[in-house]
Structure 1
Amino acid sequence: MAVAIVIALLVLGSIVFHIFSPWWMTPLASNWSSIDDALIITMYICAVAFIALNLFLAYSIWRFRHRKGNRAHYEPENAGLEKKLTLWTGVGIAAMLAPGLIAWNEYVTVPADAAVVEATGQQWQWAFRFPGEDNVLGTAATAHITPDNPFGINPRDPHGRDDVLIETSELRLPIGKPVKMVLRSKDVLHDFYVPQFRAKMDLVPGIVTYFWVTPTKIGTYEILCAELCGVGHHAMRGTVVVEEQQAFDAWLGEQMTFGQLLAQNEAAAGVRLASADIKPAIGER
């Protein structure tokens, strides 16, 4: 009897906690309301199953508790009950999967007019790359990564020369514009996640992954790594600033391109070479 009461109180406490809990999803700041819908549908289906099964368990414990003179009815098989359980379990699973599959199809079907931004993850920081005036990102690979070329852009690809490089962990995006996020990892498995966008995707070494999103609210949001990637995983954070198109264009115009980075590196190498060729005059040490 006591066990039945405890189970019933557990169900009641769970419902009360859900109603009055201060923890809930962050306000939505993107177009992905369908992902919220899929999560909410899944939660309510699971809630109905949790409440029904546990109350049935509590009722069964109370109704069929041991009483003197009562004998249990032994029924090893019940085909009708098994068919009903299979049917309703299948209906519940289908109801949970369908909204998620619909949302996923939208999530990876990038609009034709979407801009492109590349996010690169490494232990334990983020960096970003925008295409230049040609609107095409240059090819990149880990084989091209050097201290002078941290993004690993192919120096022989002409499309990469005007790519805009953001070596800080702050990404800026214009409001109301669809953006395809292209994701690369330099080392281990990472995950790009902005909770307010409801957008996340793994960065897999050797594979380019992607998703798309349309920011809908101006503000500053945190970028998290949602995959355990080493001892500094907790510190792998960044920010994405959603702003008006004019402010975004002004910010982007202030950033360095890959061609400018190459020219800067060549100039620095020339200075070092010239310094090495200077011989001290007689009497100098």
Structure 2
Amino acid sequence: MKKGLIVSILTLSFFVMSACSSDTSQVDSFMHIHGLEYSQHDESIFVATHNGLLNINESGWELVGEPEHQHDFMGYTIKDENVMISSGHPSIRSDYVDPLGVIISHDSGETWEPIALYEEVDFHLLHVNEGNREKMYGIDVYNSNLYRSENGGHDWKMVDTDGLPGPVASVLSLTSHPQSPDYLLAGTETGLYESSDGGQTWALKENNLSASSFQTLDSDSEELVAYLFGEKEGLYLSEDFGETWASLNFKIDDDYIMYISNHPADDQKLVLGSMNQSIYETNDFGRSWELLAEEGKRKN
């Protein structure tokens, strides 16, 4: 297993975003990706950052919402067609206080409001189950706890965990089985762990293999894409939720993929976000790739 991944992630410098001019929401560079999702409405991509939500589209890179809603988004994900959910820290223009707890947007990121655990948690990982979008898991880095929600993030219960190799906050990646939401996989620096009881008890599944990111592909299948490290390195597809893996022939040097999103209407499209702020997209499920951003700078 490669060492030092957690240290590298946690000690990344805060990001800087440069606007093309002071009179526009257009930007041409950024640093530090905190979430990455395809839009539910078009071909654009949303990127959650330290200073707001960025939309990458044919017209350019645009900040979403007014300055008071351009928060430091953590654990960002899209729950359904118009609803986004996140955590993190408030914009300097906002009246909200730190931490934001769980915040929600009903207008594709234009405006946000807290709905749970306000001033209590900072979820750096938020996972929505593919088969039941009301079931969610969150990892709070403030107090290193795992939380679970059964109603789309409005109410949460802390999960008393046992068996992980380190503090909960050190978990790199988390996913749940689309048809069995209590069955979880967690990528850690020392191996891949599994839980069959919603995160209460964990057991080592693979000691020479782990994952820096996961993405389930379909609510009716066990297909799972992950960026693996250890005895296998790079982007892999599993058709049986992590029992076996097939390489997608994509690997980056001196970097890790931290975020994976699959397009809601096109099963050939994937977008990846790396620890070093690079963004890659494929339109043919990995046979070819386009580099959209390299270390936070626009490539096209």
TM-score by length of 2: 0.26
Higher strand share: 2
Greater RCO, 1 or 2 (C-alpha within 8 Å, sep 6+): 1
Higher helix share: 1
TM-score by length of 1: 0.27
Higher Cα Rg, which structure: 1
